[in-house]
Amino acid sequence: MKDQDVELAVLPWGATEAHNYHLPFSTDNILVQTIANESAAAAWEKGAKVLVLPAVPFGVNTGQLDIRLNININPSTQLAILNDVADVLNRHKIYKFLILNGHGGNDFRQIIRELGFRYPKMFICGCNWFQSFSNAEFFENSGGHADEMETSIMQFLVPELLLPLNEAGSGKGKKFRIKAFNENWAWAERKWTQVTTDTGIGDPSKATPEKGERCYNEIIRKTSSLMLELSLADVNNMYE
């Protein structure tokens, strides 16, 4: 490591939270760290100088404070952590920084704006791996939490950590009565235990490891090419 050039640092960020009854609380951390590691390895093979940091295991879970052992950290804490990590990278002249997010409650965009204000030499960006593909291309049921997608990928990667699907709840999620919130132009946090009884949103019953493998490979293809492009990019010439 001491002689290795690093162009890009990647910080995976997950959450510790209930995932229906069949997936472990660490689901988001397992997925985001595995995706970060494997994407970086694939990008490295193609010439990317990329470093993967250990995943931050706690995310924003402010809508789930009444769920036992869901560990919430606030957005202001995330800013404090990211500020300290960016400060270290900046001191060591690693100016490209990607936050690889694996949890829907984490939203780093405004934090990235503020970090850019504090560290003008750095190019700081984020991505959500779970938005890097079209759900309908791989899965029958959509969802968003402990759904067919997440279950399938976990079945592929770490089958030993899952309970059998017949122990899972149906993952039925309620919608807001106010339509605008369902149209994605108005937003309010959902009170999770009022939306779902088993903490899942999305029916996991059609999940298979084969579906998970196909989707996982697509995710790695997308995130590794992002890492490669970032590593090779000239941050003073980003637009065409």
Give the binding site for Zn ion (CB under 5 A): 27-28
| Cβ proximity to Zn ion, 44 vs 218, nearer residue | 218
| Cβ proximity to Zn ion, 80 vs 205, nearer residue | 205
Cα atoms found within 13 Å of the Cα of residue 17, Cβ hemisphere only: 28
| Cβ proximity to Zn ion, 51 vs 55, nearer residue | 55
Q: In Å, how far from its chain's centre is CA 110?
A: 17
Residue 197: CB atoms within 10 A of its CB come to 13
Residue among 103, 93, 100 nearest 60 (CA) = 103
Eight-class DSSP state of 125? E
Residue 232: CB atoms within 10 A of its CB come to 14
We find the least distance from the C-beta atom of residue 32 to Zn ion, in angstroms, to be 9
| Cβ proximity to Zn ion, 95 vs 130, nearer residue | 130
We find the least distance from the C-beta atom of residue 103 to Zn ion, in angstroms, to be 6
Residues 6+ away with beta carbon under 8 Å from 103: 13, 14, 15, 17, 28, 32, 59, 60
Residues 6+ away with beta carbon under 8 Å from 30: 14, 24, 154, 157, 158, 161
Residue among 105, 107, 13 nearest 61 (CA) = 105
We find the least distance from the C-beta atom of residue 147 to Zn ion, in angstroms, to be 9
Q: Write the burial class of residue 233 (CB in 10 Å: 0-12 exposed, 13-18 middle, 19+ buried).
A: middle
| Cβ proximity to Zn ion, 20 vs 39, nearer residue | 20
We find the least distance from the C-beta atom of residue 19 to Zn ion, in angstroms, to be 5
Residue among 182, 123, 146 nearest 26 (CA) = 146
We find the least distance from the C-beta atom of residue 166 to Zn ion, in angstroms, to be 21
| Cβ proximity to Zn ion, 144 vs 209, nearer residue | 144
We find the least distance from the C-beta atom of residue 17 to Zn ion, in angstroms, to be 7
| Cβ proximity to Zn ion, 27 vs 39, nearer residue | 27
We find the least distance from the C-beta atom of residue 72 to Zn ion, in angstroms, to be 15
Q: Which two tokens stand for residue 124?
A: 């700081």
